[in-house]
Each structure stands twice: as structure tokens, then as C-alpha cells.
Structure 1
Amino acid sequence: MGDLITADTPGLLAVAFLVGIVIGLTGMGGGALMTPALIFLGIPPTAAVANDLVAAAVNKSVGAAVHYKHGSPNLRLAMWLILGSVPTAFAGAWIIAATGEPEDQQAFVKKAIGVALLLAASTLTMRIYLEMRRGDYTDDGRPDPAVRPLPTFLVGALGGLLVGLTSVGSGSLIMISLLLLYPTLSARRLVGTDLVQAIPLVLSAAISHVMVSGMDWAILLPLIIGGSPGTFLGARLAGFVSQSILRRGIAIVLALTGLGLLKVPPVWVGIIGAAMAILGPVVWGLIKHAHGRRAFIHVPIGRREPKPSPVTVPPDEDLR
């Protein structure tokens, strides 16, 4: 029992619970937040990826169970994603093992995670913009768009490889690709489809990492024990939190963490972070204004930002 409870256990429980809340709230952010957090707690990068993947297989199932009945997944679309992602996700651990000695593997994974976090921050920012631009397509009985097998398969393959190498990508790269490929698919069905395909993807990556490098129960158990209730709580609170503000904050955190893992000098990371925090809301407000939305609006907790009226408003009418 003493081997399972270590000095790192309280920190692992707290990090897993907080990251679990984010997963439940947004359906993303698991590997993108958990893996670098484990590295900063002193866990070797390869062990962080392996144990995070195993824990994610459990925690994502909890989130999927809560969201599933509301998600209405497109199973044919999910099938093509799974066909592409499962084999490449399984190959991730073997690719890492082929990079050389353990020290070389740690350095490779750390750089790969840094690049993946910057990619995740970029795709998340694009996702926020596209969702704002297109509005929230509701499931009003309209037929789903025709599935495009080859592009969907390739998206799954690339996303699976990224997850297999870094545990980052199942909720960022794949989701933004779905938004670009199927812009008329409702947000509800997008989330449901992403949740369905993510479970076999993460399971495949987790199995390969356990086969290659094993797992550490002293790390894994706190991630599951802390992450599962956090994910459940986040999923239940999802309707009461502004998704836009939360995702913009996550994008900033991912970008700064990626820069840190790529060994960008801390001074520059601080300068970039301050610029993003100060100028980010201003730029976002200008973008919203350019698309006919109020640039700055207070949305009370429990309510969503109002959508633009489908009725054309005369230019001289005061919007209140």
C-alpha cells in the first residue's frame, strides 16, 4: 500500500480532478492539459503519456456516458474515424521506442508534446471562431451531410498518430477537422460523434503504451480516482458555464505550456502570455463585431450568449 501512496499522490489527485472538470465541461483538454501537468510534477514524459492514456480511457468513458443521450452521434462518421485512428494510435508507442535510448525517448516525447500543444491551441482557437461564425446548428430533423470516407479516414489516422505519440489531439485536431469537413452538422452531433470515436482511439493508444513501457499504479490510480468524479461534475455543469470564455482560456494555457516545453525563454513566455491575456479579448471583440455580434457582452452564469437575430435589422436601429 505504501508503494501506491507517495508524496506525489495529493498533487496527482488535485490535478486529475481539475482536469476532469475541464473534460466534462468542454469534451476536450484531457491529454492537452493532463500530460504537461504530469511532466511539471516531475513525471518522465513517456510515463506521463502512458499513464494519462490509460486514465483517459476510463475518464472519457464517464464523460461519454453522461453526454451520450444528448449527443446523438453519427455512427457512420465515427466508424470511418475509428478505422483511421486505431491503427496509428497503436503505433505511437512503438515509434517512440524506436527513437533510441530512454534519454532520447524522453527528449523526443517532450518536444512532440510541445508541438502538439501549440497545434491544439491553434485548432482550438479556429474551432471557437468557426462555431461563432456558423452559429449553433440544432438537430431540427434535417438529414446529416453525406459522409466523406477518405478525408474522414485520413483525419482519424493523423489524429490517432498524434494521440499515440503525445496523448494530445483527440479533442482538438479531430474536432476542428470535423467542423471543416461537415460545417452543417449540428454541434450536438459533432460532440457525440467525437466522444464515440475517442474511446477506441484512446484505448488503442493506451494498450500499446502498456505493452511497450508498462504503467505505474502510483500514478494511474490517482488519475482515475480524481479524474472520474471531476469529469462527471464537469459534464453536469456544462450548461451553466460560458464555453467560449473557458475555451479561450484553455487555448492560452496550451500555447504557453507548449512554448515552455519547447524551451522558449521564460521571459518571452511571460511577454507572450501577457499580450494574449490583454489583447486577446480586444481582438476577439473586434472579430465578433465584424460578424455582426456584440463585441463585448456579459452573459450571466446559466445562460448562453444570444445568437444574432435572423431578421434583418435596419442600419440606423439601436441594438439593445
Structure 2
Amino acid sequence: MSGVLSFDALQLLIVAFGVGIAVGLTGMGGGALMTPALVFLGIPPTSAVANDLVSAAITKSVGAAVHLRNGSPNKQLIKWLVLGSVPMALVGSLIVKLIGPSGDQQKFLKAAIGCALLLTATTYVVRMYLNLVRQATGRRRTEQNPTIRPLATLAIGALGGLLVGITSVGSGSLIMVGMLLLYPTMSSLRLVGTDLLQAIPLVVAAAIGHILITGVDWSVLIPLMIGGSLGTALGARLASLVNQSVIRRGIVMVLTLTGLGMLGVDPTWVGILGAGMVILGPVVWGAIRRQHGLPAFDHLGSATSGDDD
């Protein structure tokens, strides 16, 4: 109990609360922010991944239960995603175990997390762009039950499962973008419900695999669960008051810079890139919007611009 009440636990609680707010505001998966945050706090990558996965398995179940009760998930789509993701999540944790000594595992995971963050940032940009195109063309996602493409869906689940099984990152980003590309007409509510529900067996499988390797550190897990839950609840309440477009572009920058830091890129270059993204990012995004016939900075002050910006 003394470990749970320590100063380190308070730090974890604050970090988890902050990450939870970001998750509640944007709906993105927390692993992309939580796992590197734990590593930067000095927690070994293997322990960071294992504890984040266990925490995510519990917190995701709450949101998924709401969507399941409301009847929004597409159960056929979930079936094919899970068939691909769950076995590969176990394979991912096995890959970590086969790396060798603990020191080699930590180095491998740190590099893998860095690559996963850069991939997540890329898929997040793709998601924003797809929503921008949808906004520009006036198309709405209204189809509830599109024709399922089993092999392609299975492949998306397998790739996402492998990524989550190794790094804990990807269940709420890579798989969601894959579904957007395969099923562009599916309604937003059904997409979110499907993504949340398919993530439960995926994250549980990955968590079991890592628990068998690393175990669970309660002094890490309990602050993650408490802080993450409270932060997510607060973020969800603030979502309607905050400009979603600005926040999501900011998260892309954070993921990119954090990923480069995890890969050992010189901090000077990371800082230069960060400054360039802050200065040039809005200009580039504004130019892309204009190419699609939209105002460069439409809804800049709106809190409800959502995915479309």
C-alpha cells in the first residue's frame, strides 16, 4: 500500500489524469500517449506496456458496454477484426519474450514504441484528411451495415493486433483508419462502437501475453486506472467546449516528437522539427483545406469542429 501512496504514484496519477483528458477530448487510444509517458517517467518499457495494457483492458470495457447497450457496434465486422487481432496480439508478446535478456527487451521495445508512435501520428493525419475530404464533398456516413470484406478486415485486425501486442499502441488509431478506408459509408457512431468493442479482446489478449512475461506492478497500475478514468470523464465533458481540430493537430505533433525522442534522435533536431511543425503546420493544413474548396481556418474558434477539420 505504501507504494500506491508514494510520490511516484502521485506523479503517475497526474500523468494518467492528463492523458485521460486528451483521450476524453479526442476519442483517440490512450496507449499512444500513456506508454511513452511511463517510459519517460523511468518505468522500464516492458513494465510500461504490460501495465498500460491491463489498465486499458479495464477502462475500454466501460465505454464498450455503453455502445453495446445502444446497439451501435457492427458485430460481423468485430468478428473478422478479432479473428485477426487476438492471435497476433499473443504473437506480439511472444516476440518480445524471444528477444532475449531483459536489457535487449527494453531496447527493442523502446525502438518499437518509437516507430509505433510515428505510425500512429501518420494514421491520425490520414484520418483527419479523410474527414476533411468527406466534409468538402458533403458526404455523410449513414450506412449501418455495409458489405463486409473478410480478408481485408482480417488483415487490418492482424496488423493492429501485432502492433498492440508488441507496444500497446495502435488499437484506437491504426484499426480505426483501416475501417475508415474499407467502410467509408459506415456511420460515425457505429464506427466508434465497433472500434471500442473489438479492442477489448485484443487488449485483453495482449495484456495476458505481457503479464506472463512481466507481471503487474500494482503501484503503477492503480494510479493509471484512477487517473485515467477521472481524466477521461473530465475530457469527455470538456469536448464540446474545446476546438477539436487544434487539439488533434497538437496531438499529432506530440506523437511525432515523442516517437523521434524514443528512437534516440538528437534533441536539438527534435526541437527544430517541433518549432517547424508549430509554425508551418497550420499554414500547410490551411493550404490543403483551400485545395478542397474550404476556408483555410474555418471554425477556428468553434468547439464542435470535430473530425472534419
- Measured against the shorter chain, the TM-score band is over 0.9
* Structure 2 counterpart of 1:53, one-letter code: L
Contact in 1 for aligned 2:20/2:232 (Cα 8 Å): yes
Q: Which runs of 5+ in 2 are unaligned?
A: none
Hey, what does 1:221 align to over in structure 2?
Answer: 222
Aligned partner of 2:213 in structure 1 is 212
Q: CA 1:144/1:156 → structure 2, altered by over 3 Å: closer, same or farther?
A: same
Letter in 2 for 1:75: K
Q: CA deviation at 1:229?
A: 1.7
- Matches for 1:107-186 after TM superposition, within 5 Å: 107-135=107-135, 138=140, 140=142, 142=143, 144-186=145-187
> Which deviates more from structure 2 when the two are superposed, residues 87-96 or residues 35-44?
87-96
1:1-320 equivalences under 5 Å are 1-65=1-65, 72-135=72-135, 138=140, 140=142, 142=143, 144-304=145-305
Deviation at 1:238, TM superposition (A): 3.3
Contact 1:23 1:63 in 2 (8 A): no
In terms of fraction of residues, the more helix-rich structure is 2
Are the counterparts in 1 of residues 53 and 204 from structure 2 also a CA contact under 8 Å?
Answer: yes
Q: What is the alpha-carbon distance in structure 2 between the residues aligned to residue 274 and residue 243 of structure 1?
A: 21
Contact 2:133 2:292 in 1 (8 A): yes
The count of residues paired between Structure 1 and Structure 2 equals 307
Distance 1:104 1:77 in 2: 37
Check conservation: 1:72, 1:193, Cα contact below 8 A.
yes
Is the CA contact (8 Å cut-off) linking 1:59 and 1:231 kept in structure 2?
no
Q: Give 1:307 shift.
A: 7.8
Q: Residues 10 and 70 from structure 1, CA distance in 2 versus in 1: closer, same or farther, beyond 3 angstroms?
A: same
Q: Residue 73 of structure 2 aligns to a residue in which SS?
A: coil
CA 1:121–1:100 in 2, change beyond 3 Å: closer, same or farther? same
Pair member with larger Rg: 1
Q: Check whether the contact 2:141–2:184 (CA below 8 A) recurs between aligned residues.
A: no
**DSSP 3-state at the match of 1:8:** helix
Matched residue type, 1:213 = T
Change in Cα spacing, 1:68 to 1:280, as seen in structure 2 (3 Å) is farther
Residues 66-91 of structure 1: CA deviation (Å, up to 9, x unaligned)? 55566822111111111110111122
Q: Taking structure 1 as reference, are residues 282 and 68 closer, same or farther at Cα in structure 2, changes over 3 Å only?
A: farther
Separation of aligned partners in 2, 1:234 and 1:67:
18
1:210 is aligned with what amino acid? I
1-side partners of 2:242 and 2:71: how far apart?
18
Tell me the TM-score normalised to structure 1 length: 0.90
C-alpha separation in 2, matches of 1:19 and 1:64: 19
Go from structure 1 to structure 2 and tell me whether the alpha carbon gap of 1:211 and 1:137 turns closer, same or farther (over 3 Å shift): farther
Task: Give me the whole-angstrom Cα distance separating, in 1, the residues matched to 2:4 and 2:37.
Answer: 20
- Inter-partner Cα distance in structure 1 for 2:7 and 2:223: 12
Instruction: Classify 1:67/1:277 alpha carbon distance in 2 versus 1 (closer, same or farther; 3 Å).
Output: farther
Q: Is the 8 A contact 2:44 2:106 kept in 1?
A: yes
Name the aligned partner's letter for residue 279 of structure 2.
I
Aligned partners of 2:3 and 2:10: how far apart in 1?
14
- Aligned-pair identity in percent equals 61
Contact 1:70-1:192 at 8 Å conserved across structures = no
Aligned equivalents of 1:93, 1:306: Cα separation in 2: 33
Contact kept, 8 Å, 1:59 with 1:228, in 2: the verdict is: yes
| 1: CA distance, partners of 2:249 / 2:303 | 18
Cα RMSD, aligned residues only: 2.1
| Structure 1: gaps spanning 5 or more residues | 309-320
Distance 1:111 1:71 in 2: 39
Name which of structure 1's ranges 19-28 and 77-86 shifts more when overlaid on structure 2.
Answer: 19-28
Counterpart of 1:196 in structure 2: which amino acid?
L
Q: CA separation in 2, counterparts of 1:232 and 1:214?
A: 28
Check 1:264–1:85 CA distance in 2 against 1; reply closer, same or farther (3 A cut).
same
